Amino acid sequence: MMYDSVLIGGGVVGLSMAWQLARRGERVAVLDQQEIGRGASWAGAGIIPPANRRTAHHPYDQLRGLSDELHQVWSDELQALTGIDTGYRRCGGLYLARTAGETAALIGFAGELVAEEVAVEKIPLAELKAWEPALADPAELRVAYFLPGEAQLRNPRHLQALAAACVHEGVELLPQHEVTGHVREGKLLTAVQTPHGLITGEQFCFTAGSWTGRLLAELATPTGILPIRGQMILYRCPAPPLKHILNEGSRYIVPRDDGHVLVGSTEEEAGFDISTTDEMLADLRQFAGELVPCLATAEIIRSWAGLRPGSFDGLPYLGRLPNWSNAFVAAGHFRSGLYLSPATAVVMTQLLCGESPEIDLQPFRVGR
Render 65-133 in DSSP notation, one character per residue.
Answer: HHHHHHHHHHHHHHHHHH------B---EEEEE-SHHHHHHHHHHHHHHHHTT---EE--GGGHHHH-T
Q: Which of 288, 310, 332 is the last residue of a domain?
A: 310
Mean pLDDT of all residues in 305-327: 96
Residue % of the chain over a pLDDT of 70: 100
pLDDT score of 41: 82
CATH number (domain holding residue 332)? 3.50.50.60
Mean pLDDT of all residues in 241-267: 97
pLDDT tens track for 79-138: 999 999 999 999 999 999 999 999 999 999 999 999 999 999 999 999 999 999 999 998
Do 250 and 290 reside in the same domain of the chain? yes
Mean pLDDT of all residues in 305-311: 95
CB-based contact 86:161 (threshold 8 Å): yes
Do 76 and 159 reside in the same domain of the chain? yes
Name the amino acid, one letter, at 30. V
Interacting residues of 45 by C-beta distance below 8 A, sequence separation 6+:
152, 155, 232, 252, 254, 262, 264, 265
If residue 275 lies in a helix (H) or strand (E), which one and from where to where?
A: none
Do 97 and 138 reside in the same domain of the chain? yes
Interacting residues of 112 by C-beta distance below 8 A, sequence separation 6+:
none
Other C-beta atoms lying within 10 Å of the C-beta of residue 312: 11
CA gap 365, 124 in Å, rounded: 43
pLDDT score of 287: 97
Q: Max Cα separation, the chain?
A: 67
CA gap 337, 342 in Å, rounded: 9
Do 117 and 220 reside in the same domain of the chain? no
Complete edge-to-edge strand list for the sheet that includes strand 93-97: 121-122, 143-147, 93-97, 245-248, 251-255, 260-264, 226-236, 299-310
Do 6 and 71 reside in the same domain of the chain? yes
Do 67 and 184 reside in the same domain of the chain? yes
pLDDT at 356 > cutoff 90: yes
* Residue whose C-alpha is closest to residue 244's, from 96, 109, 65, 124: 96
Do 56 and 185 reside in the same domain of the chain? yes
Q: What is the mean pLDDT of the chain?
A: 96
Mean pLDDT of all residues in 302-330: 96
Under the banding of pLDDT at 50, 70 and 90, the label for residue 307 is very high
CA gap 104, 230 in Å, rounded: 24
* Residue whose C-alpha is closest to residue 285's, from 249, 268, 307, 261: 261
Do 12 and 144 reside in the same domain of the chain? no
pLDDT score of 313: 94
Do 288 and 238 reside in the same domain of the chain? yes
Other C-beta atoms lying within 10 Å of the C-beta of residue 355: 10
Do 196 and 317 reside in the same domain of the chain? yes
Under the banding of pLDDT at 50, 70 and 90, the label for residue 154 is very high
pLDDT at 139 > cutoff 90: no
Do 65 and 14 reside in the same domain of the chain? yes
* Residue whose C-alpha is closest to residue 235's, from 295, 294, 293, 306: 295
pLDDT at 50 > cutoff 90: yes
pLDDT score of 5: 98
Q: How many domains does the chain have?
A: 2
Do 233 and 136 reside in the same domain of the chain? yes
Mean pLDDT of all residues in 254-280: 96
CA gap 366, 368 in Å, rounded: 6
pLDDT score of 62: 98
In the chain, % helix, strand, coil (3-state, to 5) comes to 35, 25, 35
CATH number (domain holding residue 232)? 3.30.9.10
CA gap 233, 288 in Å, rounded: 10
pLDDT tens track for 192-219: 999 999 999 999 999 999 999 999 999 9
* Residue whose C-alpha is closest to residue 343's, from 56, 36, 40, 26: 56
pLDDT score of 42: 82
**Domain of residue 242, residue span:** 93-149+226-310
pLDDT at 319 > cutoff 90: yes
